[in-house]
Amino acid sequence: MAPGSPRVTDAQVRGAVGSLLRGGVLLAASVVLAGGVLYLARHGAARADYSVFRGEPLDLRGLAGTLQDVVALRGRGIVQLGVLLLIATPVARVALTAVAFAFERDRTYVLVALLVLALLLKSLTG
């Protein structure tokens, strides 16, 4: 590193990663809770019919449909967004560690983190 440039310490990286994970889980839980309350407020009195299996609705099988449901304030879409946020939290952690390794100029770990990130993204989108 150049003299006078800021140095990222391991403790700072651990703190940032911990804050990211805590914040991501709390945000996801809050979104799921809000969606669940909204869903129950609208559909809580409806009788459940378990005699026929019904899979996930088509609008909740993709990001675009989920976002449309969120904009329309549908409870199931908001819950689905919370689940997506929960899944995105560890992916963001890997991205953050890749950036931290880049600041440390540790090319080997940057490459490993980027490989892990690519595999995660491929498995989520594939």
Domain definitions of the chain by residue range: 11-44+57-125
Tell me the average pLDDT across 16-25: 94
pLDDT for position 2: 52
User: pLDDT of 66-84, one tens digit each?
Assistant: 999 999 999 999 999 999 9
Tell me the average pLDDT across 28-48: 93
Residue 83 · residue 32 · CB < 8 Å? yes
User: Closest by alpha carbon to 83, among 108, 61, 50?
Assistant: 61
Tell me the average pLDDT across 85-102: 93
Residue 39: burial class (beta carbons within 10 Å; 0-12, 13-18, 19+): middle
Tell me how many degrees the CA angle 26-30-31 measures, rounded to the nearest 5. Answer: 120
For 24-29, which contacts have Cβ atoms below 8 Å and span 24 or more sequence positions? Answer: 24/85, 24/86, 24/88, 24/89, 24/92, 24/93, 25/86, 25/89, 27/85, 28/82, 28/83, 28/85, 28/86, 28/89, 29/82, 29/86
